[in-house]
Amino acid sequence: MNEKNPSQKNDFIREIIRDDISENIHEKIVTRFPPEPNGYLHIGHAKSICLNFGVAEEFKGLCNLRFDDTNPTKEDQRYIDAIKFDVDWLGFNTENNIRYTSDYFGQLYDWAIELVNKGLAYVDDLSPEEMRAYRGTLTEPGVDSPTRNRSIAENLDLLERMKNGEYEEGEKSLRAKIDMQSGNLNLRDPVIYRIIRANHPRTKNDWCIYPMYDFGHGQSDAIEHVTHSLCTLEFEDHRPLYEWFLENLPIPSKPKQYEFSRLNLSHTILSKRRLFKLIEDGYVSGWNDPRMPTLAGLRRRGVPPTAIRDFVGRLGITKSDGIVEMSYFENTIREHLNLTAQRRMAVLNPIKIVIENYPEDPDFKDELEAINNPNNENDGIRKLLFSREIYIEHDDFMENPTKKFFRLIPGGEVRLRYAYLITCKELIKDKEGNIIELRCHYDPESRGGNAPDGRKVKGTLHWVSANYSKKATINLYNELFTEAIPGSNGNWIEDINNNSVESLSNCFVEPSILDSKPNTTIQFERLGYFCADIDSTKDNPIFNRTVPLRDTWGKKN
């Protein structure tokens, strides 16, 4: 934090911006978040989103959501729509700040002609495979293409013919003429236009040549008067090329690129290519599978956007790469939900209790009061219905208890949350010896859970009424990978956790749970935080576990 203003965020990016403002270098701070619409955003993107939109808010500037739509073979309108939704869901307003690199295709092509006219670009005949061979390595210099010294007139003619569709994909490309001997491979005559014959989501078939990211990115920044182009560290070696284009073109502004470390999270992957493989090979059900690190998957799992913003904010902005433990992310989620999530009761592995001294009339019931959220009195109370037959968790009963087992045992007494004290009188077993039912007595004078004579009762159990509950399916999600760094010991596919989800179909929940709004996470008391699935209905309720009630990573490791 800044010593002069403890609430002010402080990192090297913000320090640069503050210095630029104090020196009157910029009238207005402009940033951009430039995703390629070829997949869904993930938690790693959230760090960049929060930084770019965050500094724009802090310094009363502007952040554009700019789609890098320069490869129509991989891009789709559904990805554009999903990205817009995710950025808005995180809490950033993009309504008037949406841009597309395709908005600038005409201008970019004119600038390509400018480079050719300056003798700084040429049309090359090498295939992609030949180009890689000519490029050289980190220890060996590259070799000039045989067509590198074509005349300006010939290059202009060939470029026009490329644009007009006279050549097939891979037959020709436009390359910047920089330095094939450079120690930076990005400066060894990089391709700036290639031929792609595919229908573009926005420009349809208007173009058959498309700019490469390195050419389109910096020039789009300049067109939008971006002041600080914030990228992750893998683009650090691209910065000299970014600056080379800006220096050699008549651009309207001079943006500067700054790099920061990307987010790496344990027990998951943030490679879009690998996320695609998980989907294509059926390891997950899609981009919004609750096990995926995508924002859509996290939302379906019940993670609130405020927790994501808080999490990436706590990490800070540095130039040092590292792995953030998944437990740290889950603890941040848990902190937020503990304050905001309303409480409800659900039983995941039920065993029936019959309260023998409770009235046998099936219509007889008690109406009890339960607190919705002990951390927010404005959430009020709800009504619970208590009946002769109830369900508790099977694990909350032990026939032969261990020394420190303080839940229900034969002859033992426990408290039912918000209800009564009960004592176990008899066990009912099936032919195989499995306990299928418990017979208990309740203390009618202990309504609310307090013994009238002041006797001490240690155990408190959650429960639901057998008559006034709803059967539900509950999905328990665990880490998607067994290794902290998937693939560190070989093939990352082999590290996929085969027990990443356990689906329980014989669960019971109190009816008020069904009134929860979509994407609202609630706490199942003593069990964890859960969210209604997008496929959940009142007739077929489905809930996904967001995080357990307590940190379990220490037990796993």
pLDDT classification of 86: cutoffs 50, 70, 90:
very high
Q: What is the pLDDT of residue 144?
A: 97
Q: Give the pLDDT mean for 106-123.
A: 98
Annotated active-site residue 272? The verdict is yes
Q: Is the pLDDT of residue 279 over 70?
A: yes
Residues 6+ apart with CB under 8 A from 228: 13, 16, 17, 20, 29, 30, 31, 55, 255, 256, 258
Answer whether 263-345+469-557 and 350-462 agree in fold. Answer: yes
Q: Give the pLDDT mean for 85-103.
A: 95
Q: Give the pLDDT mean for 83-106.
A: 95
Q: What is the C-alpha to C-alpha distance for residues 177 and 167, in angstroms, rounded to an integer? A: 21
Q: What is the pLDDT of residue 551?
A: 78
Q: Distance of CA 462 to CAs 396, 516, 529, Å?
A: 9, 19, 15
Q: What is the pLDDT of residue 446?
A: 94
Q: Is the pLDDT of residue 486 over 60?
A: yes
Q: What is the C-alpha to C-alpha distance for residues 366 and 383, in angstroms, rounded to an integer? A: 10
441, 422 in Cβ contact below 8 A? yes
Q: Is the pLDDT of residue 554 over 70?
A: no
Q: What is the C-alpha to C-alpha distance for residues 152 and 155, in angstroms, rounded to an integer? A: 5
- Mean pLDDT taken over the chain: 94
Single out the catalytic residue among 9, 99, 254, 262.
262
More reliable by pLDDT, 172 or 455? 172
Q: Is the pLDDT of residue 174 over 80?
A: yes
Q: What is the pLDDT of residue 367?
A: 95
User: What token pair was written down for 522?
Assistant: 């609630």
Residue type, 229: S
Residue type, 122: Y
pLDDT classification of 557: cutoffs 50, 70, 90:
low
Q: Give the pLDDT mean for 218-243.
A: 97
Annotated active-site residue 274? The verdict is no
Single out the catalytic residue among 14, 66, 150, 272.
272
Q: Is the pLDDT of residue 166 over 90?
A: yes
Q: Is the pLDDT of residue 2 over 60?
A: no
Sign of the C-alpha dihedral, residues 10, 12, 17, 23? positive
pLDDT classification of 1: cutoffs 50, 70, 90:
very low
* pTM, entire model: 0.94
Q: Distance of CA 541 to CAs 176, 366, 532, Å?
A: 58, 25, 7
Question: pLDDT tens digits for 33-53?
Answer: 999 999 999 999 999 999 999
191, 131 in Cβ contact below 8 A? yes
Least confidently predicted of 6-15, 308-317, 362-371: 6-15
Q: Give the pLDDT mean for 185-204.
A: 96
Superfamily of domain 12-260 in the CATH hierarchy = HUPs (3.40.50.620)
Token pair 């099977």 is found at: 394
351, 397 in Cβ contact below 8 A? yes
More reliable by pLDDT, 322 or 19? 19
User: What token pair was written down for 257?
Assistant: 């690129």
Q: Is the pLDDT of residue 3 over 50?
A: no
Q: Are strands 346-347 and 501-509 parallel, antiparallel or unpaired?
A: antiparallel
Fold topology of 350-462: Ribosomal Protein L25; Chain P (2.40.240)
Q: Give 184-251 as a DSSP string.
A: SGGGSS-EEEEE--S-BTTTBTS-SEEE-HHHHHHHHHHHTT-SEEEEEGGGGGGHHHHHHHHHTS--
Domain boundaries, the chain: 12-260, 263-345+469-557, 350-462
More reliable by pLDDT, 8 or 340? 340
pLDDT classification of 553: cutoffs 50, 70, 90:
low
Token pair 């203003």 is found at: 5
Percent of the chain residues topping a pLDDT of 70: 98
More reliable by pLDDT, 274 or 453? 274
Question: pLDDT tens digits for 136-154?
Answer: 999 999 999 999 999 999 9
Question: pLDDT tens digits for 370-418?
Answer: 999 999 999 999 999 999 999 999 999 999 999 889 999 999 999 999 9
Single out the catalytic residue among 36, 57, 58, 325.
36
Q: Give 123-141 as a DSSP string.
A: EE---HHHHHHHH--SSS-
Q: Give 240-304 as a DSSP string.
A: HHHHHHHHTS--S---EEEEEPPP-BTTS---HHHHHHHHHTTSSSSTT-TTS-BHHHHHHHT--
Fold topology of 263-345+469-557: Ribosomal Protein L25; Chain P (2.40.240)
